[in-house]
Structure 1
Amino acid sequence: MSKKFIITQAAKKMIEQVSIGLGALLFYGFYFGVTISNLGPAFTFGIFLLPVTIGMVNVFSFYLIPKFLFTQKYFWFALYTVYTIVISIFLIALSAFYAFLYINSLESLGTEFILTKNLYLIIVAVYIVVLLASLFSAYRESYKVHLRNKELQNALLNGELQLKQEELSYLKMQIHPHFLFNTLNTIYGSAIAKREETPGLILKLSNLLDYILYQTQKSEVPLQDEIDHLKDYLALEKLRHGSKLIISTSWPENTEKIKIAPMLLLPLLENSFKHGKSQNGQAFVDLSLEVNDETINFTLKNSRDEHENISNLTSSGIGLANIKKRLQLLYPESHSFYIEKEKDYFLVQLQIITKKS
């Protein structure tokens, strides 16, 4: 702790004590001098009460209230409050007695000072000052605690947000190698067969790589971008499988201003090819995407081998666990994800409630 900081805190403390003293003195001057014309004796009487007043304010404001009341130790707060009141009554009476003797011994005041209040009202006056000062101090301390708690809460939220972003980045990193591996295998097979479609495959892969490397850095992308790359991926698979694959698609027209997290639908389509099996030499993929106001409905149905175990879906690559985790992070209370396994097909239904930009 620096010396400058210690001096600053001491100065603030001193100013606070002086302010309490001046406020108490003004109150005592008005309280005891309200029925007399000469306020000199009233202020002098108040000065004698200042030490016990400031002492009690400090005891309540900086010890009893923060240590016991704020920490909900009510029994100990009540017990020490009773002790403080008993001791303070004795000190107030002693201070008032000596103040009365001192004022009446001064010939310069020109008259005898007759107390306008009895001892009971003097004690009440002191406790009015103590109560007001303690309440103000308690409010100030509680406000500081509130601000500190708010700062801690904001820091915690920022930390959780950072962890969330890091987890999402990690999940995206899992997507990229898996997707590239499958697509490069497709191009490799096409090159071995010396197909004329190979350049087209490379061009579509280039578009997909651009999407993966750059667009996925954004938190959201236009839904149309995701659709375009779904179409590119379907074209890649169609070129690879040829007539063995039957693809049926339905695309929305009203995609303007609708945004979605990148690479959210594409992995589902990729899984349909990875785990889908042909039946009698034929395979099918039925994809439907609808947009109703702010709701995106994605339905994907693909052929499967009845001997394929659904646990294989999460055995490698991104898996459904990855997709579910991303949905929980990105759309925690605004999505539904449903998977159905039948004898000859898989059905995936995803609904996302998003917002128009």
Structure 2
Amino acid sequence: MSTPLRLKLTSARFLLNYRFWLHVTGWLAFFASPLILPLPIFKQLPQYYVNYLFITRTFVNLMLIAVFYLNLHYLTPQLLSTKNSFRFFLYLPLLFVMVLLLDYLLLQAVRADLQMYLSRTEGNDPFLQEILANDFLAPRQLLANLILFALIVLSSSLWAVLTERLDQQQFNQQILYEKTSAELAVLRLQISPHFLFNTLNNIRWLARIKSDQAETSVMELSEILRYMLYQVVHHQVALLDEVTNLKRYVNLQKLRLHPKAQVQFTCDNYDPDIKIEPLLFIPFVENAFKFGIHSEEPSKVVINLSVKGYDLVFTCTNQYFDFKDDELIQGTGQGLLNVQRRLELYYPKTHTLTIRDDQKFFSVELRLNLKHG
């Protein structure tokens, strides 16, 4: 499983658990809210009335919970998607009437028992007198239901809006990720044909002069193609594999160099478990061989790779020869822009690329922090 997919699954599990426990905690607090009243208030209420309040509020609260989830998963999402506020503000009063009817029906179910209890207490209970004096619901009951209903609708609407915004943000990030992956795939495909074209030209040159090194170059090319076909399709590769592939490329290029040309390639020891985005160094080395090696004059290419912990420093330096400007731009511009774009995509804040051209030497220095890449 790739690292991005593992991170997404971990985040999804955490978010799911977070929402679940937030719901459970919220509803426990909602049901327990009457218990925060001072104890003397409960002592003033008859036990029968306390039982009545407990039963009725339990059923009414369950109805309010149903309203909460109906608004959370249907009404507010429909309002956000269709912008049709008529249906939203039509359903809310209907739901509120249903809550009031439920409370009234529960009262009617025990009204006779409450009246009998009130007659036994000789009418000295003001709470029951207020409840039984109204044909529908007492004003305080109406106000309490209205406040609870408004809080339920407001909280579920805010939750739905926040969820919609988070889902949209996650969707946009997923689109950006897919776009980036597709763009990187295109950039890699741009590298492969260009590299293959130049290498086949080298092999053709060796075959033309009937060099015994032609077979060696074919084997080197075979290993490089195997690496490019089966390794670089992954998000990242081992730095060891990338350096091995780079050495094969350098060896392949050295086969056609004249005696006056020198190539120096040094690499420090490093942790073999370090991962890196593939094919980052090839464009710089290819550029050095193409424009830093003269067919007659002495020339030198120096390549160095050093790693300290997760900090990587890659340098490639070659002599500068006075090629035609249009030839230089045509040969190097696309390759350098290609690798610069890939660095921006995969190492946006953890890389530094420095290119120097003083008309005598052309040098590239790339610094990467591979721990956060």
- If the length of structure 2 is used for normalisation, what is the TM-score? 0.64
Map of 1:2-13 to 2, 5 A cutoff? none
Alignment of 1:116 with 2:132, yes or no, is no
User: Which residue is equivalent to 2:236?
Assistant: 220
User: Which residue is equivalent to 2:197?
Assistant: 181
Does the CA-based 8 Å contact 1:285-1:301 persist in structure 2? yes
Does the CA-based 8 Å contact 1:338-1:348 persist in structure 2? yes
Does the CA-based 8 Å contact 2:191-2:335 persist in structure 1? no
Q: Quote the Cα distance in structure 2 between the aligned partners of 1:154 and 1:338.
A: 34
Shift of 1:128: 3.0
Shift of 1:314: 5.7
Map of 1:1-357 to 2, 5 A cutoff? 116=126, 123-278=139-294, 281-309=297-325, 312-313=328-329, 318-355=334-371
Q: What percent of counterpart residues are identical? A: 27
Unpaired runs of 5+ residues, structure 2, are 1-30, 35-40, 57-62, 81-92, 94-103, 131-137
Shift of 1:236: 1.4
Q: Secondary structure at the match of 2:126?
A: coil
Does the CA-based 8 Å contact 2:118-2:125 persist in structure 1? no
Does the CA-based 8 Å contact 2:118-2:124 persist in structure 1? no
Q: Map Cα deviations across residues 95-151 of structure 1 (whole Å, 9 max, x no partner).
A: 9xxx9xx99xx99985996883799xx645532332223212322232233233222
Q: Quote the Cα distance in structure 2 between the aligned partners of 1:313 and 1:302.
A: 16
Does the CA-based 8 Å contact 2:310-2:371 persist in structure 1? yes
Q: Quote the Cα distance in structure 2 between the aligned partners of 1:350 and 1:286.
A: 14
**Is the deviation greater in 269-278 or in 227-236?**
269-278
Does the CA-based 8 Å contact 2:356-2:364 persist in structure 1? yes
Q: Quote the Cα distance in structure 2 between the aligned partners of 1:108 and 1:156.
A: 63
**1:203 and 1:318, CA in 2 relative to 1: closer, same or farther beyond 3 A?**
farther
Q: Quote the Cα distance in structure 2 between the aligned partners of 1:210 and 1:307.
A: 34
Bigger Rg, which one = 1
Shift of 1:227: 1.3
The residue type equivalent to 1:147 in the other structure is T
Task: Give the alignment's Cα RMSD to 1 decimal.
Answer: 4.6
**1:38 and 1:307, CA in 2 relative to 1: closer, same or farther beyond 3 A?**
closer
Does the CA-based 8 Å contact 2:320-2:360 persist in structure 1? yes
Alignment: residue pair count: 294
Does the CA-based 8 Å contact 2:287-2:332 persist in structure 1? no
Does the CA-based 8 Å contact 1:258-1:356 persist in structure 2? no
Does the CA-based 8 Å contact 1:314-1:321 persist in structure 2? no
Shift of 1:332: 0.9
Does the CA-based 8 Å contact 2:258-2:295 persist in structure 1? no
Shift of 1:305: 1.3
Q: Quote the Cα distance in structure 1 between the aligned partners of 2:172 and 2:328.
A: 38
**1:248 and 1:38, CA in 2 relative to 1: closer, same or farther beyond 3 A?**
closer
Q: Quote the Cα distance in structure 2 between the aligned partners of 1:124 and 1:349.
A: 77
Does the CA-based 8 Å contact 2:271-2:309 persist in structure 1? no
Q: Map Cα deviations across residues 201-228 of structure 1 (whole Å, 9 max, x no partner).
A: 1111111111111111011111111111
**1:308 and 1:285, CA in 2 relative to 1: closer, same or farther beyond 3 A?**
farther
**1:37 and 1:175, CA in 2 relative to 1: closer, same or farther beyond 3 A?**
closer
User: Which residue is equivalent to 1:7?
Assistant: none
